[in-house]
Amino acid sequence: MKRILLTKAFVLILITLNNSCGVRMGQKKVLASEIEQIKNTFAPDKRTALFNIEVLDGPSGFTLIGETNLPRAIDSLEAVLSEKGIVATNEVNVLPADNLEGMTKAVINISAANLRSNPKHSAELATQATLGTVVNVLKKEGDWYLIQTPDKYLAWVDPGGIQLMNNAEITAWKSSEKIIYTNTYGHAFSSIDAENRISDIVAGSILKLVGSDESHFKIAFPDGRQAYISKDEAQEYETWLSSLDYTANSLIETSKTLM
């Protein structure tokens, strides 16, 4: 009799465990499906949005791990899981990373920065950004920084290509008077005599305006270096902006100068 009772109890335990496993497997499938749907909604293009989330199934339950730069996507995922009654511990890193210590902005500090698809010089070229472009900094890996450009592209840049800034510094940079380089290619010099080159410059480069005389702009780079640029090769940014010509003929003529 005792053996029969023990056998029945063992069978009941197996049934309970099997049902529990079935429920858990079902929830894990739903969880994976919801993550995929949220990714397709908020981050359909991995070049412009980061949403790398996985599910760990451990003794204490489900845990969400990974990283994203889309806090609204995480909020949406948590709301869906709550609605479906699925409990999962959220350990997702929402970028920008804490170890950046507030340096979550940067300005491109060279004439044209090559932005890579992975944190190494041999990686595929993802895009480029010109001098003076403001970017968001998301995290650091080794000596490389993951950044997001104004047109939303995600890419890696080495430290020589950017000047890191905090919120106060980037606000000061954005509010300062600027010039834009309008020649196709040229240089900034240490003096109006054009003896020593400070840097090369390409069309579209934006620099801080420090002062000017009849023939030259005195400018500052994002890292504070100062130099001179001929007024024949640049314009005050606001003046240039107000005089833009968007006609087809103007665009064609501009494109021809880049051939």
| Residue 235 near residue 179 (C-beta atoms within 8 A) | yes
Instruction: Determine the pLDDT at residue 3.
Output: 56
Instruction: Determine the pLDDT at residue 255.
Output: 86
Average pLDDT over residues 224-235: 97
Domains in the chain, ordered, with CATH? Answer: 11-94 (3.30.1340.30), 99-174 (2.30.30.40), 176-256 (2.30.30.40)
Rg (CA), the chain: 27
33's CB contacts (< 8 A; 6+ apart) are none
Nearest to 96 by CA among 147, 60, 52: 147
Q: Hey, what are 144's tokens? A: 């490389």
Amino acid at 238: E
Q: How far, in Å, CA of 55 to CA of 62, rounded?
A: 7
- Residue appearing with tokens 């090369």: 200
- Between 12 and 152, residue with greater pLDDT: 152
Q: Hey, what are 231's tokens? A: 């007024």
Burial of residue 213, with CB atoms counted within 10 A of its CB: 0-12 exposed, 13-18 middle, 19 or more buried:
exposed
Q: What is the phi/psi pair of residue 125, to 5°?
A: -75, 115
Assess whether pLDDT exceeds 50 at residue 6: no
Q: How far, in Å, CA of 165 to CA of 171, rounded?
A: 9
Q: Where residue 19 falls among pLDDT bands split at 50, 70, 90? A: very low
**pLDDT for 30-62, tens place per residue?**
899 999 999 999 999 999 999 999 999 988 899
Instruction: Determine the pLDDT at residue 257.
Output: 81
Does this model's pTM top 0.75? My answer is yes
**pLDDT for 140-180, tens place per residue?**
999 999 999 999 999 999 999 999 999 999 999 999 999 99
**pLDDT for 94-110, tens place per residue?**
999 999 999 999 999 99
Q: Where residue 2 falls among pLDDT bands split at 50, 70, 90? A: low
Q: What dihedral angle (degrees, nearest 10) is formed by the CA atoms of 52, 99, 79, 29?
A: 30
Instruction: Determine the pLDDT at residue 258.
Output: 79
Instruction: Determine the pLDDT at residue 4.
Output: 53
- Between 220 and 257, residue with greater pLDDT: 220
Average pLDDT over residues 193-200: 92
105's CB contacts (< 8 A; 6+ apart) are 134, 135, 136, 137, 164, 165, 166, 167, 169, 170
Instruction: Determine the pLDDT at residue 20.
Output: 43
What is the CA 186 to chain-centroid distance, rounded? 29
163's CB contacts (< 8 A; 6+ apart) are 106, 107, 109, 221, 222, 223
